Amino acid sequence: MLPQETILRKRNGETLTAEEIARFVDGFTKGEISEGQVAAFAMAVWFKGMRREETVALTLAMRDSGDVLDWSDIGRPIADKHSTGGVGDNVSLMLAPIVASLGLAVPMISGRGLGHTGGTLDKLESIAGYNIMPDEALFRKTVREAGCAIIGQTGDLAPADKRLYAIRDVTATVDSVPLITASILSKKLAAGLETLVLDVKVGSGAFMTDLVEARTLARSLVEVANGAGVKTTALITDMNEPLADCAGNALEVIHALDFLKGRKRGTRSETVTLALAAEMLLSAGVVSSSDEGLLKSQESISSGRALETFGRMIASLGGPADFVERPWAHMPKAEVELVVEAPQAGVLTLCAAREIGMAVIGLGGGRIVPSDTVDHSVGFTDFLPLGTKVENGDIIARIHARDEASAARAREVLLGSYRIVEGRHMPRPAVVEKI
């Protein structure tokens, strides 16, 4: 069938066969189908949608456009987690070593920052020597010996996704649920997973600001991943304020170390991370209940096993052997620190989390265009959680910047991002629901 016939059928709202979809994906991966035709296909999907079986077929075709990793020699359950992205969301840095220390193998393929959200790879590149693009031999060695490895997507994994995403990015079709689903899952399935847990963010700092939209995406991801043969569940989690008490690459790495040293107990970050860890362990059959998974995850932190696993992963992928003990010896530190004080007494009741993410980019901690150089040292620390009662002059955050001017601009953005009023604040649950 000609590519234009496939486009026509989807434009008319017809259901495409798995064979049609596979041929189309193969054609645009090999460059035999023009960018205009791929763009037309993406727009047709945006308008007409896809049935579940079509999205499964698209996901599998994109997975099979490149290498599919085989971990049968590892001898551990192969598991991973994916987040749809948020501000101060450094969960992967803690989660991977926690569950790896408890018997899972976690070959985590991560990404860079997208829009206002921070990227796990940008955080790890704060660490001197850390190799986010190892060859397959080193990737396998790290997973085998440390239990986890967090790296970037190689050109051999789901190359169809790279081409399709680049076209979606410039044709206003990024927010199609079937295309988002296939993009996320094709990479995860190419990593050879047996189980997957999804963290779908909702709120002012998430791509899905509405709970109905978040549920729609979560259900699509869960149904398609399970349909493709990977046991999958999702947690919808709140992103109406930064998840960690900081935002910025090196600063979030420090937060992860503090977390793994047991210094972030009772926080929203702990609630989300341990809930995802329990879900990963339960899905992989390592524990028989979520409560058992939570207990084992807490023990992994208190015993130091999770921290030790993190250190082994860093060293195996080229980072310093003493990184856990001396992190600031191996990461850049901002020249300027500026405190942000509450302008009045009251309760922190609202936070425009997206604006905080954009403020990190404004400091130089993210990219406006892909070619931008990231300043890994800048960002914010010591955010107070919503619901905190403050007095006039109390410190509500600290800015870490390359110069006084950028720090002053960030201060204005931050003050404009918070609402301080008299009265009470009803806290939102960190974990909204499970799908």
Instruction: Give catalytic residues, as residue numbers.
Output: 80-83, 120, 168, 183, 187-188
Cβ-based neighbours of 193, under 8 Å, separated by 6 or more: 78, 79, 80, 107, 230
Instruction: Using alpha carbons, list the distances in angstroms from residue 317 to 29, 131, 407.
Output: 30, 5, 33
- Reference 83, options 121, 120, 122; nearest CA is 120
DSSP per-residue codes, 167-233 = HHHTTT-TT-HHHHHHHHHHHHHHTT-SEEEEEEEESTTSS--SHHHHHHHHHHHHHHHHHTT-EEE
Separation between Cα atoms, residue 269 and residue 74, nearest integer Å: 30
Separation between Cα atoms, residue 150 and residue 121, nearest integer Å: 8
Contact at 8 Å (CB) between 242 and 269? no
Contact at 8 Å (CB) between 188 and 68? no
Tokens of 191: 């990593």
CB atoms within 10 A of CB 391: 10
Separation between Cα atoms, residue 71 and residue 56, nearest integer Å: 22
Separation between Cα atoms, residue 222 and residue 232, nearest integer Å: 6
- Write out the H or E segment, with its range, that includes residue 397: strand 395-401
- Reference 18, options 60, 65, 66, 47; nearest CA is 60
- Reference 185, options 52, 24, 20; nearest CA is 52
Q: Which amino acid is at 11?
A: R
What is the DSSP secondary structure assignment for residue 364, as one 8-state letter? Answer: I
